Copies of this chain bind each other. A is one copy, B any other.
Amino acid sequence: MKAVVLKRAGVVAAEEVPIPRLKADTDVLIKVHVAGLCGSDLHYYRGDADDGSFVMGHEVVGTIVEAGSEVKQFQVGDHVISPFSVSCGSCFYCDKGYTSRCTSNFCLTGGQAEFFRLPLADSMLFPFPEELPEDVALLMTDILPTGYSCAYNARRLLDEDADAPWSLADLKAGRVERKGVAIVIGCGPVGLCAISSATTLFETVFATDLNASRLAVAEKHGAIALSASELKDAVLAATDGRGADAVLEVVGHGSALNAAFEYVRPYGAVSSVGVHNLKFEIDGDTLYSKNVRMQFGRCSVRTFFPLALDVLKNNLELFKSFVEHKVGIEEAEEYYKLFNEGKINKTVFVMD
């Protein structure tokens, strides 16, 4: 089969490789229809990988062509999609819905190929939501649930002391009303997903980005998008001088987080899904004096999949524009290069 193989740092090639075989009774083999090229593929591309070449990719839509004997929820012929993060469905963390920290978690690879072996199929796959185009649906493997979880965590922290606390089931049943003023810091793809999600949970959503060209599209997603210099006064005016009830940080940089602490009101919530991998300085006095509450970390995609799916369906035309390039797998080398250089946005590999 054809596959995108990482040869060494900075070099991928479309090559013929053997079709993978099932390794466990809980595996399935998927005939891939579309596979996304994701920002996190670039970590490997830039050299952050073990030795040895391997097939890239973890965003996949396809059809099951072989299923292990222990796969009970799916069968050959099923049209399926899967979160990017491996979860077993039964460990301490999966039990609580914290699938991103499943004790069996590891990084999926192998998706940018004609066939893809997926482990733990029963606790990984969702039936494909047939009302969606396959390329757009790839947003459901990661960034739409990630944006949603950022908004959810903020609202959750904010309401934790409510007289009548709500559960995820209440939210799914539509029993949680929009409330409060949120700011989204960062208007890249994940930020836009967070904005569309936040408009379902907060009454007013502001957004900001250092890159002014991103503000117009943030407005289309439902935010009042302002430059950093305009934002603070506008938020104070909207909150009787208190500051934002919640700040959603999707940048993954200490400066964005410190801006969040500046914008948030006392006892407000700061929710961060930005991938932080550096040390940074924070001001203990601000955290203490504002009684800040926070949630960090990687989204448990599986838990937020249904709610994020509603956001995608309700904003389909907007999200269609996220997919910039649809190309064949043989063009992988060029598109990895362009993506790595920041010259293009989302690319989807379409199989024959």
Contacts and interface: CB of A to CB of B under 8 A. Distances in A.
Nearest to A169: B163
Contacts of A275: 288
A1 to B, nearest CB: 34
A287 B281 contact: no
Contact of A97 (B161, B282, B289): B161
In the complex, the 4 A-B pairs of residues with the closest C-beta atoms, listed nearest first: A276-B284, A291-B297, A165-B165, A101-B266
A279 interface: yes
A165 B272 CA distance: 23
Contacts of A287: 272, 276, 296-297
Contact of A167 (B157, B165, B168, B283): B165
B156 A160 contact: yes
Contacts of A92: 240, 242
A76 to B, nearest CB: 35
A166 B284 CA distance: 30
A267 B167 contact: no
Contact of A288 (B166, B277, B284, B289): B277
Contact of A166 (B165, B266, B294): B165
Nearest to A275: B288
7 contacts: A98-B267, A100-B291, A257-B284, A275-B288, A278-B284, A279-B282, A290-B297
A107 interface: no
A333 B156 CA distance: 49
A346 interface: no
A32 B169 CA distance: 52
A294 B293 contact: yes
A7 interface: no
B285 A276 contact: yes
Nearest to A101: B266
Interface in A263-320: 266-267, 272, 274-285, 287-298
B291 A285 contact: no
A57 to B, nearest CB: 22
A164 interface: yes
A168 B165 CA distance: 10
A292 B97 CA distance: 15
Nearest to A100: B291
Given A98-B266, A164-B167, 16 more contacts: A100-B291, A157-B160, A160-B160, A165-B165, A276-B284, A278-B284, A278-B285, A279-B281, A279-B282, A280-B282, A281-B282, A287-B297, A288-B296, A288-B297, A291-B298, A293-B293
